[in-house]
Structure 1
Amino acid sequence: MNIDDLIAIDIHTHAEEPCCGHRDDGYHEFQAGMAKYFKNPAGADGMLPSVQDTAAYYRERKIGAVIFPVDAERETGFRRYSNEEVAEIAAENSDILIPFASIDPAKGKMGAREARRLVRDYGVRGFKFHPTFQGFYPNDRSAYAIYEAIAEEGALALFHTGQTGVGSGMRGGMGMRLKYSNPMYLDDVAVDFPDMPIILAHPSFPWQEEALSVAQHKPNVYIDLSGWSPKYFPPILVRYANSLLKHKMLFGSDWPAITPDRWLADFENSEFRDEVRPLILKENAKRLLNL
């Protein structure tokens, strides 16, 4: 990866399609709900972009991309996309893709063993957690086995925070409980794992001020700006990005739900200061990922 040639680094893209051929029962309806929530046709009528498709898309735009699946098998019954397969395809496209992985923390010591193997043998740089999708409180001690492995291997931890499009508008919200994704639970994780970089994903509605507080107070906590168009960012988030947290804000799109084309177009017309824009788009991620 030639960092100097990239115009940006997208810290938040998804590998969505199941690894084992057909979609599981209910997966089409789940993706259709996501497409409606994000006002994006992707996933509503056909298969979503493959990891190879994603690499080609980002290469054409000269944008680096962190990519990951989400392991929510226990809560949803949907088979996860193989971490190994995502990492292998990322390695084939290492000029543009940076592999993260996902492991349900309920897998305990087995999950911790998998995390170590993925870092050592597959070059995985970080791990994505989705407390609502995976059904756990981030500060539950049962999750600490996998955090210990991640911290000891020098990898990052990225957590969904705030409301989610997962299950939005579906009966009972598809069983998804928003309470798990309050960013204040990650304050405990930041205290107990002070050397593990933690990324709070998304503007954390309705807990935006909690997220800003944790990121300001804990040196190892960052915020990615994915999942929302910048034109909808709350003013306090932009204010902190322009000042106290300018070195802790990261560009993320939430591909394929939100495309970088859409995000960057709205970012161009937002209230971010000129000197802050390069930090958000690339420099902060370059430093955090040690690229």
Structure 2
Amino acid sequence: MIIDAWAQHPTLRHIQDPIFDSLRRWTKTPLPQQAPPVSLTVAMMDAANIDISLISAWEAPRNSMISNDEVAGFVAQAPDRLVGIGSVDISKPMQAVKEIRRCVEELGFKGIRVLPWLWELPPTDRRFYPVYTVCAELGIPFCTQIGHTGPLMPSEVGRPIYLDQVALDFPELTIIGGHIGYPWTEEAIAVATKHENVYIDTSAYTAKRYPPELVQFMKGRGKHKVLFGTNYPMITPQQAQDGFDALELDDKCKSLFLAENAMRVFKLDQHATVTV
């Protein structure tokens, strides 16, 4: 079984946003003119044997790139394959708290994701703290990005060490730092090692580009701490697995990384359509 811990089914306004122009320079993909159907995302999953993808909403300042209701609509089209992750406008704390509760209690989402670089604020900023509080109360993970940013935005807010203070203030909160944390991967590993409820996902990187220190962590004390992710559609599920066999993970580490850690952290055993 394979679970993708970080993916998007994009809207047209998401994939056409100029903020991603720098990523298209890397991927050499043309600017899409039509929103892809959910069937295409599922076909991409099938091609790489992905069983479940956790697809995320995107809330930016004054810009809802992918709304929570749109994510819920995508999930409804493939409920046995897609699981929703919500997002909120952290500049409106009371509204954000209400929306998180709606995402979990009404839409059935399994986590909340807010990207510091979109807001140009570190995770220790006071505007994040109502989000942490309600996520901890509801027992859902807070998902975020760590490491440098592909879009031409400041990378400093992605330093993994910021999550150290968040985990100290909210020991009950599960935190997942996506995108490996490069070039501060050792910093990310240190924070994940220190805090029981801090995890790393490998989204936005192909397996052949995993830093050696992360692979070593996955094979040893961190085997329960790392989740597979793609960041689809930036990287397809097949591309994300490029070089996977060369990691030489044993069967247990492979199973934990590809599925079991995500099942446990996102409590997917409580998702009625997921079977193991």
TM-score, with length taken from structure 2:
0.89
Shift of residue 107, structure 1, vs aligned partner: 2.0
Return closer, same or farther for 1:288/1:35 CA change in 2, 3 Å cut-off. Answer: same
The C-alpha deviation readout for 1:239-290, integer Å capped at 9, x for no partner, is 1111010011101011011111112232122243443111101111112122
CA distance in 2, matches of 1:28, 1:114: 24
Corresponding residue of 1:67: 55
Count of equivalent residues = 267
Q: Which residue is 2:149 aligned to?
A: 164
Aligned pair partner of 2:237 in 237, 243, 260:
260
Alignment map for 1:193-272 (pairs within 5 Å): 193-272=170-249
Residue 31 of structure 2 corresponds to residue 44 of structure 1: yes
- Does structure 1 retain, via aligned residues, the 8 Å contact 2:58–2:64? no
SS at match of 1:36: helix
Q: Is the 8 A contact 2:57 2:66 kept in 1?
A: yes
Q: Which residue identity lines up with residue 166 of structure 2 in the other structure?
A: V
CA distance in 1, matches of 2:261, 2:157: 27
Deviation of 1:49 (Å): 3.1
- Distance (whole Å) between structure 2 residues aligned to residue 235 and residue 17 of structure 1: 35
52 and 157 in structure 1: CA distance in 2 versus 1, 3 angstrom threshold: farther
Aligned partner of 2:104 in structure 1 is 119
Residue 247 of structure 2 aligns to a residue whose secondary structure is coil
Percent identity for Structure 1 against Structure 2? 33
The more displaced of 95-104 and 46-55 is 46-55
> Residue deviations 1:204-229, cap 9 Å, x none?
11211110001001000111011111
Structure 1 residue 72, shift from structure 2 partner: 1.0
CA deviation profile, 1:146-172 (whole Å, cap 9, x unmatched): 211111122111110101212xxxxxx
Asked if structure 1 preserves the Cα contact closer than 8 Å seen for 2:192 and 2:198, the reply is yes
The answer (yes or no) to whether the contact 1:138–1:186 under 8 Å persists in 2 is: yes
Counterpart selection for 1:84 from 56, 69, 75:
69
Displacement after TM superposition at 1:95 (Å): 0.5
SS at match of 1:187: helix
Give yes or no for the alignment of 1:99 onto 2:87: no
Question: 2:56, 2:252 → 1: CA distance?
Answer: 30
- The 8 Å contact of residues 126 and 155 in structure 1, kept in 2 or not, is answered as yes
Return the letter of the residue paired with 2:41: T
In structure 1, the partner of 2:274 is none
| Alpha-carbon offset, residue 46 of structure 1 | 3.6
Is residue 15 of structure 1 aligned with residue 6 of structure 2?
no
Amino acid at match of 1:201: G
User: Hey, what's the Cα distance between the residues in 2 that align with 1:62 and 1:229?
Assistant: 15
Quick check: 1:69–1:102 contact (8 Å CA) kept in 2? yes
For residues 63-104 of structure 1, give each alpha carbon's deviation from its aligned partner in whole angstroms, at most 9, with x where no partner exists. 210001211134xxx442220121132133221111001113
The residue number in structure 1 matching 2:272 is none
Measure how far apart 1:51 and its partner are.
4.0
Look up the equivalent residue of 1:34 and give its one-letter code. Answer: L
8 Å contact 2:16–2:31 — kept in the other structure? no
- Give the distance between the partners of 1:17 and 1:180, measured in 2 at CA: 26
Alignment check: 8 A CA contact 1:162 1:207 kept: yes
Could you tell me how far apart the structure 1 residues matched to 2:254 and 2:64 are? 38
Partner-residue secondary structure (3-state), 2:249: coil
Conservation of the 8 A alpha-carbon contact between 1:104 and 1:134: no
Q: Residues 280 and 137 from structure 1, CA distance in 2 versus in 1: closer, same or farther, beyond 3 angstroms?
A: same
Match runs of 1:181-196 below 5 Å: 181-196=158-173
By how many angstroms is 1:62 displaced? Answer: 4.5
